Amino acid sequence: AAGVIQSPRHLIKEKRETATLKCYPIPRHDTVYWYQQGPGQDPQFLISFYEKMQSDKGSIPDRFSAQQFSDYHSELNMSSLELGDSALYFCASSSSGGLGETQYFGPGTRLLVL
C-alpha cells in the first residue's frame, strides 16, 4: 500500500540558510500534519492543513511557513535556520479532515543545521 512520502530524507544546511521540506500524502488523504522531533524528544505538532487551508497551528516558529497545494502535497519552508532547528521532521496524513481518523506518518526528513 502507498505510504506518505517525504523528501528529501536527509538535508544539511548552514545557519541562516533556508530549507524546503516536501510531503506527499497517501492517495485520497486530504489532511496533512507536520511534526518536529528533536534529539531524544517526542514529536511536537507544528501545523496542519485540510483541503489546502490551514486547520490548526502548534509550536511553529514564525520563521517557518507551510502550505498545501491542489494535489494535496505540502511544503514546509524554513528560513533563517538556527542550530536548534536540527531535528527529524515528520509529515503525517489522514482523511476526512482528520476527525477521529488515524494519522499515518512518513519516514521523516532529518535536518542538520551546521
Q: List, in sequence order, every residue forming a beta bridge with 19; answer none if it has no partner.
A: 78
Kindly state the number of chain residues that form the binding site for other proteins, as judged by CB under 8 A.
29
Which CB sits closer to other proteins, 41 or 80?
41
Q: Kindly state the smallest distance separating residue 78's Cβ from other proteins, in Å.
A: 19
Residue among 45, 37, 40 at smallest CA distance from 111: 37
Q: Kindly state the smallest distance separating residue 86's Cβ from other proteins, in Å.
A: 16
DSSP state of 103: P
C-alpha distance across the termini of the chain, in Å? 36
- Residues 4-33 binding other proteins (CB under 8 A) are 31, 33
Give, in order, the Cα–Cα distances in Å from 28 to each of 2, 23, 56, 74, 111. Answer: 11, 14, 20, 14, 28
- Binder of other proteins out of 24, 64, 72, 90 (CB under 8 A): 90
Grid coordinates 482528520 are at which residue?
98
- Residues 39-78 binding other proteins (CB under 8 A) are 41-45, 48, 50, 55-56, 58
Which residues contact other proteins by CB under 8 A?
Answer: 31, 33, 35, 41-45, 48, 50, 55-56, 58, 88, 90, 92, 94, 97-108
